[in-house]
Structure 1
């Protein structure tokens, strides 16, 4: 988890969802629009991404079955650009295997259109990838715990260089990644999507997910919410901040062997100070500004 834009060969991309919310069959709800003044922020009902308020049991949810599907008309341009970086969509998923960091997305994008034109449903096993053809079926394996799951990739993202794939909330729960926020995974494309992707004309409208809703990877402005001697304690703090405030966070190590909970990154110091005030007003200790 909008107005469709007619894009040129070099796409100016703003987000995966159109400004018009789409009601999904499962939720029965259409998110309202709200904005905080940031470019593109009025396209979503929520400023921050969170887990769903209604936590459904996904343990018995069936995995998608790989099958041959027609390429998405909207989701497979030859190239597109986000934050000044150009991505080249692969003509085929055949033989694709990669390892890297998985993150996840949920409530903020639920019900809005993905890059393939379908509504994002955080209760289904889907994912976002920068370059695989849409749709692609892939097996994602959490290398930290051995759990494995088939997902259907129908969206673009994540646009941080240190991340490989964005999982739906349900997929993250099933793989044991939700509470940690990220996980080390292997992504293997499955044979249902080996056919070449249909390449659209230069005027075909495309949406690409969430580029304006997170700061560029180059940002170095963070807040430190805590320092802990154990990773488990840091993860508890991270989860509490995510659950209560929906803030983006990560855990880092310092030279003293402590586990640091960092919030951000932020686009500018004003945004960072606003986040610091919000965290303090919510009853947490006031976080300190830090930079890598």
Structure 2
């Protein structure tokens, strides 16, 4: 894991809410299905349990017992959309809910209008020092334009490397090659089946932390729309 943030002191102590005790712990095998809710405007800008400011548009979440800050992979079971979220707060303190999403996370999972929905939550480990939230490829259930856009050929699978960065997509191969050239030898260009668009990829990485660190570096180099995607 690359440069993870330290667990915030005090957030792993047992605590009591409304007469019920919660006992935070490292849970490497955490993989649960349950209900998710979301929170937004009324908490925006307030400190979270880690001391970070809550940004309702960022890809973050609250959990009762996982280490803070941590990363979770959350999948909306109704539509297959998946995001990686930075867990930096405690909650939700409602019996039938296992995670509280930021407004941005709820939007990415298409849970904003319904308010709640059934999700799968998988703990991925400690979060990087900054950032850590990303939309995975399966979150793109619909193209942004009405016309159907053929998807590029599948990313080659590696036995232990699951995460890639989609740096950008271009309408012509020369544009994509020029962008790849700026990024060095590890960048590759992948074409759609009918050559209608060409995307620039970096990777793979075996864990989301390392890939997210690399994505932030790519964003800093001017590729603001770079996405963390999963090849699993």
**TM class by smaller structure:** 0.5 to 0.7
Indicate whether 1:68 and 2:11 are aligned. no
Q: Which has the higher strand share?
A: 2
Distance in 2 (CA, whole Å) between partners of 1:67 and 1:171 is 24
Equivalent in 41, 47, 54 of residue 107 of structure 1: 41
Residue 182 (structure 1) aligned with residue 116 (structure 2): yes
TM-score (norm. length: structure 1): 0.42
CA distance in structure 1 between the aligned counterparts of 2:89 and 2:111, rounded to whole angstroms:
19
Q: Distance in 1 between matches of 2:65 and 2:126?
A: 17
Distance 1:66 1:147 in 2: 26
- State the match for 1:148 in structure 2: 82
Q: Distance in 1 between matches of 2:47 and 2:36?
A: 21
Which residue is 1:9 aligned to? none
Corresponding position of 2:93: 159
Q: Where do 5+ consecutive residues of structure 2 fail to align? A: 128-232
- Summarize the alignment of residues 1-292 of structure 1 with structure 2, pairs less than 5 Å apart: 68-77=4-13, 79-90=14-25, 92-192=26-126
Distance 1:174 1:117 in 2: 24
CA–CA distance in structure 1, aligned partners of residues 27 and 87 of structure 2: 11
Q: Deviations over 1:41-81 (max 9, x none)?
A: xxxxxxxxxxxxxxxxxxxxxxxx9862200124222x000
* Aligned twin of 2:132: none
Question: What is the TM-score normalised by the length of structure 2?
Answer: 0.53
Separation (CA, whole Å) in 1 of partners of 2:3 and 2:78: 28
Residues 213-270 of structure 1, C-alpha deviation per residue, up to 9 Å, x if partnerless? Answer: xxxxxxxxxxxxxxxxxxxxxxxxxxxxxxxxxxxxxxxxxxxxxxxxxxxxxxxxxx
Whether the 8 Å contact between 1:74 and 1:115 is mirrored in structure 2 is: no
Counterparts of 2:2 and 2:73 in 1: how far apart (Å)? 10
| Conserved 8 A contact 2:11-2:24 | no
SS at match of 2:66: coil
Aligned length: 127
Structure 1 counterpart of 2:207 = none
8 Å CA contact retained: 1:75, 1:155:
no
Consecutive unaligned residues of structure 1, counting only runs of 5 or more, are: 1-64, 194-292
Whether contact under 8 Å (1:74, 1:117) holds in the other structure is: no
Shift of 1:191: 3.6
Secondary structure, aligned partner of 2:35: strand
Quote the Cα distance in structure 1 between the aligned partners of 2:20 and 2:12.
17
Residue 115 of structure 1 deviates from its aligned partner by: 1.1
Distance in 2 (alpha carbons) for counterparts of 1:146 and 1:67:
30
